[in-house]
Structure 1
Amino acid sequence: MIIVNLIAAHLLIGFSFFISSEYFWIIFSISLFLLSMIAFRSRLIYWTKLKKTHLWISLCSAVMLYFIFFTGKALTALLFPDFLDTLSLLYATIQPYQNWHFFSLFLLIIPGEEFFWRGYLQTKLYERFSPITSIILSTMLYASAHLYSGSILLVLAAITGGIVWGWLYYYTKNLTISILSHLFFDFLLFIAFPLL
């Protein structure tokens, strides 16, 4: 079943990137909603009571991740400026600019990614592999779904974020922590201090 669900994830996300850019947000939002439903039906997601320390962990990890991306962008601009041109073209499609885009991003897309890739897939991989191997495998599979964007930088970004959020989920045994970290990070990246 895990193979079928992975194929479904690739088809949905791939279609989101291949369709006309004016429909990206609609299709991508629907795709993450459907992947969320797959995750919830699996009944695999770990939840525990949220503590104040969890909020700090989420916030600090998001800030750390943002500075990693900030440094990565500066190095890329210095060493591989052509990659930034490609990323800028991609951002013209995926950058949220309408109000409903932001609502979808923070209430549907980000939670949906965590529900499916960490809550469902990573937990499922625990059944056959060690936690570290499961984090790495789920991260690589998560990143592979970003290949359809055509941007190697977005794939590398997915690997970096996937490792951090996967480790948070494993360490805290609470998917809410990963979701909050992802939310804080995207707030920094898209609203507070955009890198592009």
Structure 2
Amino acid sequence: MIRVISDKRLVLGFFLAHLVIFLTFEQQKVFWYFFTAAMLLLISYSILDESGERNSSKSHLLFGIITGVILYAVFWLGDTLIGVLNLPLEIQITRLYKLFSPETVWHYIVLLLVIGPGEEIFWRGFIQRKLHRYTSARTSIIISTLLYASVQIYSGEWVLFIAALTGGLVWGALYAWKKSIRLVVISHIVFDLLMFGLLPLR
């Protein structure tokens, strides 16, 4: 763990992510402008690092689509159970959709082409890959998922933290297994498309 903390680029990247995501949630009226800028900054920070893996195959497209659909199904099932059990998380989900759902064409464009891919490039392709240099694959998945979820606290809604834990574990495991950032990017895009475009929960 000492070696992890001594990696200045890794630590600085994590604190940079906290800063820009904090500013993003603080500026709700211009949320989409800040979120887009934040992810472009984190993508730029990530690619300044040495080149990551470039493994890819034709099967990654199909596998990415399938895992994105399965992850959406898990969220849909969770939302259904929350409704049936009348848990207070239902109010949080509704509030999050109201505050942060895409509303215009350009929102959807940046969600699918910048924000979703950017989160994977930074949290899996940079943070998790860096952590894996110093820890086991399992540990790197767990720590990177916790770090990914930690920036969601600025939304003020615990359900977003839980959602990030769930998605982070799935995408982290996929990345550790297949060693392909393209795969997790495709999975994330499909998930976002279903969650916010084709079949939103609210």
CA distance in 1, matches of 2:111, 2:52: 21
- Compute the displacement of 1:138 (Å): 0.3
- Compute the displacement of 1:187 (Å): 0.8
Q: Is the 8 A contact 2:56 2:182 kept in 1?
A: no
| Residue in structure 1 matching 2:186, options 155, 159, 180 | 180
| Residue in structure 1 matching 2:23, options 15, 34, 40 | 15
1:9-158 to structure 2, matched below 5 A, reads 9-19=17-27, 21-51=28-58, 53-158=59-164
- Compute the displacement of 1:44 (Å): 4.5
Which one-letter code corresponds to 1:161 in the other structure? G
Distance 1:44 1:140, change over 3 A: farther
Deviations 1:105-127 (A, max 9, x none): 11111111011100000000011
Per the alignment, in what secondary structure is the counterpart of residue 42 of structure 1? Answer: coil
Structure 1: runs of 5+ lacking an equivalent: none
Partner of 2:11: 3
Runs of 4+ in 1 over 3 A off after TM superposition: none
After the TM superposition, which of the residue ranges 102-111 and 88-97 deviates more from structure 2? 88-97
CA distance in 2, matches of 1:143, 1:26: 21
Please give the TM-score of this superposition, normalised by the length of structure 1.
0.95
Distance 1:134 1:44, change over 3 A: farther
Per the alignment, in what secondary structure is the counterpart of residue 155 of structure 1? Answer: helix
Per the alignment, in what secondary structure is the counterpart of residue 182 of structure 2? Answer: helix
CA distance in 2, matches of 1:38, 1:32: 10
Structure 2: runs of 5+ lacking an equivalent: 1-7
Identical-pair percentage: 38
